[in-house]
Amino acid sequence: MNIYPAIMCGGSGTRLWPLSRRLLPKQFIALVNQTSMLQDTLARLPHGCQQPIFICNEAHRFTVAEQVNSVQRQGNILLEPQGKNTAPAVALAALKAIAEDEDALLLVLAADHVITDDQAFQEAIEQAKTAAIADKLVTFGIVPTKPETGYGYIKHGPINQGVAHVAEFVEKPDLATAQAYLATKQYLWNSGMFMFKASRYLAELEQYRPDIYQACRAAMDNCSTDLDFIRPDKDAFEHCPDESIDYAVMENTQQAVVVPLDAGWSDVGSYSALWEVSEHDQDGNVCKGDVLTHQTVNSYLHSENKLIATVGVENLVVIDTPDAVLVAEKSQVQEVKHIVATLKRDERCEVDHHRQVYRPWGSYDSIDNGSRFQVKRIVVKSGAKLSVQMHHHRAEHWIVVSGTAKVTINDKTFLMTENESTYIPIGAVHALENPGKLPLEMIEVQSGSYLGEDDIVRLEDRYGRVEEQA
């Protein structure tokens, strides 16, 4: 039987703010290795498995496509019309898999987990595959290394050939309860990873939660395709309840089994967890970027923009990005959620995106701004084109730093190269394209009474974003 990986790419990763933000959360960032966590997930997939099925939202679709293509992989990208938790997401993937292969085995993985022992992970998948072929619904339970209060637990029966019956799923415990769980050696951390026949999961879902099954079936029966993306029917999916796979299926089925996994797993849910899975220097520090330390121990120091220098401190987290700095005591990093809540309440842009914003055509970096001006550094990928658009409130000056630009302003089209510039008046219909083989780098100077991204009237767009901002 063929394995179809279903990779869950949702989640906002707010506990790792300011590195992780709503429009570029942790699964798309290189936190541990030189590649993103999503790309790391792809790299550890079993050899010979089928094209992955990615489940993500509208805002992340081009990021997923770009990161998958950059590691020369292909896959089906399913766009959830709205987040409805894991039971519906897995159902959409299962329906997609059985449309291609009625005997498909679904391997459900999160895009934002760290696993350091790939061999142990592969062996666990082989054990799970045997059980899944026998119509079991397999979950992977992490062998606990400490009395963790941040995870749910799975109580299991005797282990036979690497597989055990699930006795019960239990909620996140307090410290005393977690210590008692470890003492019994009958509890595993609930990882949120699964393996089963796609058809078996759908049958169990239909039995225990027919409302979820019927909504997902209707959504996929009326799905549409858009570029590289599969769009389940929005109206049908709106009627789907919000429920986790544990509550909807795994806690109800009589066929749940667990495979213990001891493979250096972490969900990297905080900066302290990121410190634990990263490489330390002789003083126990993790230093990323331009960092100098003196009499500093057991700290996580990450610079993206400027020099970080620390003297006489310990157990600190210091995160520098171009538009935000976080300083926290390592034992208090879970409290970052309060900063994020304040940013949301105040409608601050720092909660949603970084200063550098990625688009399907490339990226832009807002390097300076004032009351009536804004300066951006724009990079356009080879062969890419920004939308045909106009603005009601701003004019723009474009200066080419490197590469070749194909510029359209109203009914005039022309080429610009290095050190050449042009002016786009307020109200002019314009477009920018990179016809060359190398990236196009430009400086854009905006001036006017209003400079918001919602002053973009998009008239034509090869990426299907006519109704979206930016």
Count of C-beta atoms within a 10 Å radius of residue 15: 19
Query: Of 273, 106, 289, whose CA–CA distance to 189 is shortest?
Result: 273
Q: Give residue 44's Cα distance to chain centre.
A: 17
How would residue 226 be classed by pLDDT, with cut points 50, 70 and 90? Answer: confident
Residue 51: CATH number of its domain = 3.90.550.10
How would residue 227 be classed by pLDDT, with cut points 50, 70 and 90? Answer: confident
344 in a structural domain: no
348 in a structural domain: no
Distance (Å, whole) CA 148 – CA 143: 11
Residues 62 and 84 in one domain: yes
Q: What is the pLDDT of residue 224?
A: 93
Is the pTM for the entire model greater than 0.85? yes
Residues 28 and 157 in one domain: yes
468 in a structural domain: no
268 neighbors 254 (Cβ within 8 angstroms): no
162 in a structural domain: yes
| Least trusted range by pLDDT, from 188-192, 209-213, 268-272, 353-357 | 353-357
Given a cut of 70, is residue 11 above it in pLDDT? yes
* Backbone phi, psi, residue 207, to 5°: -70, -45
Query: Of 12, 7, 1, 17, whose CA–CA distance to 319 is shortest?
Result: 17
Residues 191 and 113 in one domain: yes
Residues 21 and 120 in one domain: yes
Sign of the alpha-carbon dihedral angle for 424, 426, 427, 433: positive
308 neighbors 319 (Cβ within 8 angstroms): no
Mean pLDDT confidence for 186-195: 96
Mean pLDDT confidence for 322-336: 95
Range of the domain at 69: 3-266
Mean pLDDT confidence for 340-354: 93
Residues 409 and 290 in one domain: no
pLDDT in tens, 435-465: 999 999 999 999 999 998 889 999 998 887 7
Mean pLDDT confidence for 330-343: 95
433 neighbors 400 (Cβ within 8 angstroms): no
Given a cut of 50, is residue 469 above it in pLDDT? no
| Least trusted range by pLDDT, from 21-25, 109-113, 162-166, 356-360 | 356-360
Beta strands per DSSP E along 283-410: 286-288, 291-294, 300-303, 308-311, 316-321, 324-329, 356-359, 362-369, 373-380, 388-390, 394-402, 405-409
Q: What is the pLDDT of residue 467?
A: 52
466 in a structural domain: no
65 in a structural domain: yes
Residues 159 and 301 in one domain: no
* Backbone phi, psi, residue 211, to 5°: -65, -40
pLDDT in tens, 66-102: 899 888 888 899 999 999 999 999 999 999 999 999 9
347 in a structural domain: no
